[in-house]
Amino acid sequence: MLTEKDRIRLRDLAKRQLELAESERNKQLYKDWEVHGRTDASGRPMITVEFGTFCTEFVEPLLLCESDKARELERMLLRDIFPFENFGDDTIIRNYIGVSEEYRIIPFGLAALREESGGLGHHIVPQVKDLAEDFHLLGKSGIELAEGHTLGEFVDEIVGDILPVKKTGRPRYAAFMQNIVHIMGMEDMYVAMLEEAELFHEMCAMLTNDYIEAMERTESEGMLRATNGDVPLSQGSMCFSDDLPQSGDCLKTSQIWGYMDAQEAQGISPDMYHEFLFPYYKRISERFGLLSYGCCEGVDSFWDDISKFENLRKLSISPWCNEEIIGGALLGRKVVYHRKPSPNYIGVDRYLDEDAVRSHIKRTVDCASGLTLEFSQRDVYTVHCDIGKVARFVKIIREECEKKR
């Protein structure tokens, strides 16, 4: 039962979000993202801070609602409002509540099993330990309907006249290597590549076919909406681009954004990537209109293959990537240098080492000279409850970028 107190609280937050969404600052952010999406040299580097991983430090003390559902909506609104008001990054705030749906796969029909460690870590419980002996366990992947969140009707009832619920597109995500690791574990997966190469290829082909089938099913049922504009892409980025439909539904996968990564392949050689992953990644990636690629892996190791993704538009430059190599490789290509600064600078020590941050960012700015540059700070799990620390971090990045303009 929603109390009147909760209703007032939620409506006040919705009004605040709408006020911020209609602010001149937010309108300018939309314009800046549009220029950035064109990989236009006249644009400035965009900066986002992923708030979800450390939002508990700031959002939980602000919760006032009593019922569970009201608190869930309250959290959702505060996760948009709080960073916009306090961090000074380029995360936009929308004048609506977006909901999306798509079919996703349950790889090989096996739900991932893992043991939680009581914190952020977990242990994968392998279900396929020896690929030759356990191959019979690999069935056809299940396909299920996945919704963006389950608050649609509640949001519409409580704040829909302020922030309307709007169906949006969702970029397609193919977590290929992660799917395999979640049923085998890292060590057994690597061993299978070496000792059961033929079966490993068969497994990859099965998974690829299932991903493509899910995409085709989504298309045939008219579920694909435009992903262009203020739709979150992946890894802290946004979907702005002039090269895909700005609006519309019943689209094809070739008209929307897609995202793939292979961070679980960090421990294999470029030759093994080429043999065991590239053929399947290429088949899936060709379905997308534009591709955002990479997470924590050092993409420089596999650049010879990654460079062949013809629709590549954003490339993740993680802390484990050789920035000099990739900076040179991307010159002349319409690809965003999507830098992920090390989270250690902002998330480990209580106080910000500003000189170290400047040095870290300066190297990136130098390596990305002549490229479309974007920063997404991710994987921060605490900032020691220091709001100013995040804002200062963002300001330092801006200052170092301005020095090169």
Question: 201 and 139 in contact (C-beta within 8 Å)?
Answer: no
**Nearest Cα to 189, choosing from 210, 209, 174, 204?**
204
Q: How far is CA 276 from CA 177, 211, 279, 334, in A?
A: 11, 17, 7, 27
The reply to whether 356 falls in a domain is no
Binning the chain into helix, strand and coil, the percentages to the nearest 5 are 45, 15, 40
Give me the pLDDT at residue 312, please.
98
DSSP string of 288-331, one letter each residue: SSEEEE-SSS-GGGGHHHHTT-TTEEEEEE-TTS-HHHHHHHTT
Supply angle C-alpha 302, 306, 307, rounded to 5. Answer: 115
The reply to whether 372 falls in a domain is no
Instruction: Determine phi and psi for 315, rounding to 5 degrees.
Output: -125, 125
Give me the pLDDT at residue 30, please.
98
Domain enclosing residue 261, as ranges: 101-147+168-340
Q: How far is CA 353 from CA 14, 280, 331, 341, in A?
A: 37, 43, 31, 14
Q: How far is CA 5 from CA 10, 60, 82, 158, 214, in A?
A: 9, 18, 21, 12, 44
- For 135, the 3-state DSSP assignment is helix
Q: How far apart are the first and last CA of the chain?
A: 55
The residues, any chain, with a CB within 8 Å of residue 83's CB and separated by 6 or more, are 49, 51, 89, 91
The reply to whether 135 falls in a domain is yes
The reply to whether 215 falls in a domain is yes
Give me the pLDDT at residue 116, please.
81
The one-digit pLDDT tens for each residue of the chain (405 residues) are: 799 999 999 999 999 999 999 999 999 999 999 999 999 878 999 999 999 999 999 999 999 999 999 999 999 999 999 999 999 999 999 999 998 888 889 999 998 888 887 667 888 899 999 999 999 999 999 998 876 666 778 899 999 999 999 999 999 999 899 999 999 999 999 999 999 999 999 999 999 999 999 999 999 999 999 999 999 998 999 999 999 999 999 999 999 999 999 999 999 999 999 999 999 999 999 999 999 999 999 999 999 999 999 999 999 999 999 999 999 999 999 999 999 999 999 999 999 999 999 999 999 999 999 999 999 999 999 999 999 999 999 999 999 999 977
Number of domains in the chain: 1
In the block, tokens 């193919």 appear at: 174
**For the chain, what is the total number of helices (H) and then of strands (E)?**
16, 15
- For 284, the 3-state DSSP assignment is helix
The reply to whether 311 falls in a domain is yes
Give me the pLDDT at residue 148, please.
61
pTM: 0.95
**Nearest Cα to 81, choosing from 65, 67, 95?**
95
Question: 337 and 372 in contact (C-beta within 8 Å)?
Answer: yes
Give me the pLDDT at residue 150, please.
64
The reply to whether 382 falls in a domain is no
The reply to whether 300 falls in a domain is yes
The reply to whether 205 falls in a domain is yes
